[in-house]
Amino acid sequence: MKDNLNDIIVEVNNISYSVRDKNIIENMNFTLERGGFYSVIGTNGSGKTTLLRCISNSLQPTKGNIKINNKLINKYTPKVLARHISVVSQNTEFLFDFSSFQVVMMGRMAYQKLLQTDSEQDLIVVKQCMEKTNTWHLKDRSIKQLSGGELQRVMIARALAQQTPIMLLDEPISSLDIHHQFDIMELLKKINKENNTTIFIILHNLTLALKYSNKTLALKNGKLKYFGNTEEILTKENIQELFKIKAKIIDNKHIIIQNNENF
């Protein structure tokens, strides 16, 4: 099925990113639909984080361009862009001892004027986002005292408080145990469905990619190797080609990595 042009929210047009003449990503072309749930997979060094940083405009492609809502991303001011795209990183460190409430309130900066105090609307939005992510009970807790799962939920609450139509997540569950990985993915799916938020998430857990994402981007050696419906991308043949491992797909729901000794 072809993308409906009215539903396209992100256009990545033939972008490359190079460092010292070495291509980190090369000639990538794809579009993201409003309200889609996209997983990004690939081995370490395949260019996943570089691609995400280009889409968030924290890196400038050395070739090609990116459009958000049909407007070149570099034409947005940082503040206006922050109303379109929110980012959740894998590891977040804070120099100061903020409370969880203060961290989530940072998501409202895109809507505040310089030196403006928090408005009643800001307070309402932050409370709603913390309740939605089950973090309101952590509002007075120091960000430095949270568990990994609690911290990631707070960071998602901050991204949610930005009220953006696009949320980019860079391996947000890689350091969490299995229980909290499912918690975060369930939360993201809820945000995706209820807010029609486009989710673009880098994942290493292929079973979670298969379970939660509508479409998958598979990167290899800095190139977009496959892009399409997740169940069509995550086949045992493609997994073997991408990761040099053997896998078994059970009922299109679970991916079992098999003994690789004789690969």
Which CATH number belongs to the domain containing residue 198 in this structure? 3.40.50.300
Distance CA 119, CA 134 (A): 22
Owning domain of residue 63: 5-84+164-257
- Residues 104 and 118 grouped into a single domain: yes
Kindly state the average pLDDT of the residues 201-223.
Answer: 96
Whether 76 and 168 map to the same domain: the answer is yes
Of residues 185 and 93, more confidence is placed in 185
- Mean pLDDT, residues 96-112 taken together: 94
Instruction: Tell which wins on pLDDT, 86 or 20.
Output: 86
Asked whether residue 107 is domain-assigned, the answer is yes
Segment 160-187, tens digit of pLDDT: 999 999 999 999 998 888 999 999 999 9
Indicate whether 63 and 139 sit together in one domain. no
Same domain, 123 and 150: yes
45, 136: one domain: no
C-alpha to C-alpha distance for 71 and 56, rounded to whole angstroms: 14
For the segment 144-173, the average pLDDT, to the nearest whole number, is: 95
Instruction: Kindly report the three-state secondary structure assignment for every residue of the chain.
Output: CCCCHHHEEEEEEEEEEEECCEEEEEEEEEEEECCCEEEEECCCCCCHHHHHHHHCCCCCCCEEEEEECCEEHHHCCHHHHCCCEEEECCCCCCCCCCEHHHHHHHHHHHHCCCCCCCCHHHHHHHHHHHHHCCCHHHCCCEHHHCCHHHHHHHHHHHHHHCCCCEEEEECCCCCCCHHHHHHHHHHHHHHHHHHCCEEEEECCCHHHHHHHCCEEEEEECCEEEEEEEHHHHCCHHHHHHHHCCCEEEECCCEEEECCCCCC
Confidence (pLDDT) at 6: 58
pLDDT band at 94 (very low <50, low <70, confident <90, very high): confident
Q: Which pair of structure tokens corresponds to residue 260?
A: 């690789």
- What is the pairing mode between strands 198-202 and 166-170? parallel
pLDDT at 142 > cutoff 50: yes
The pLDDT of residue 231 is above 80: yes
Shared domain for 231 and 113, answered yes or no, is: no
| Model pTM score | 0.93
Assigned domain for 90 exists: no
**Overall average pLDDT of the 205-234 stretch:** 97
Last residue of a domain, one of 163, 187, 216: 163
Q: Based on the structure, what is the number of domains in the chain?
A: 2
Q: Can you give the pLDDT at residue 259?
A: 61
**In Å, how far from its chain's centre is CA 82?**
15
Residue 205, in any domain of the structure:
yes
Asked if the structure places residue 155 within a domain, the reply is yes
- Percent of the chain beyond pLDDT 90? 81
- Shared domain check, 102 and 73: no
Determine the Cα–Cα distance for residues 255 and 156; give it in Å rounded to an integer. 27
Q: What confidence score (pLDDT) does residue 44 get?
A: 94
Is residue 236 domain-resident? yes
**Residue after which a domain boundary falls, among 163, 190, 206:** 163
The answer to whether residues 68 and 171 belong to one domain is yes
User: Which of the residue ranges 89-103, 172-186, 228-242 has the most confident prediction, judged by mean pLDDT?
Assistant: 228-242
Nearest alpha carbon to residue 55 among 25, 85, 23:
85
Whether residue 104 is found in the same domain as residue 63: no
Query: Is residue 262 domain-resident?
Result: no
User: Do 184 and 246 fall into the same domain?
Assistant: yes
Whether the pLDDT of residue 84 is over 80: the answer is: yes
Distances (CA, A) of 86 to 94, 118, 159, 219, 228: 18, 20, 5, 22, 24
What's the full length of the chain, in residues? 263
Residue 58 lies in a domain: yes
pLDDT of residue 260: 57
Q: Is residue 263 part of a domain?
A: no
pLDDT at 247 over 50: yes
Q: In one letter, which amino acid is 193?
A: K
Both 76 and 108 in a single domain? no
Average pLDDT of the chain, as a whole number: 92
Domain boundary among 141, 163, 185: 163
Burial of 93 (0-12, 13-18, 19+ CB in 10 A): exposed
Q: Supply the pLDDT for residue 254.
A: 84
Looking at the structure, do residues 174 and 247 belong to the same domain, yes or no? yes
Give the dihedral sign, CA 29/110/147/254.
Answer: negative
In the predicted structure, residue 83 carries a pLDDT above the cut 90: yes
Span 145-170, average pLDDT: 95
Q: 3 pLDDT band (50/70/90 cuts)? A: very low
Q: What is the pLDDT of residue 243?
A: 94
Classify residue 167 as exposed, middle or buried by CB count within 10 Å of its CB (0-12, 13-18, 19+): buried
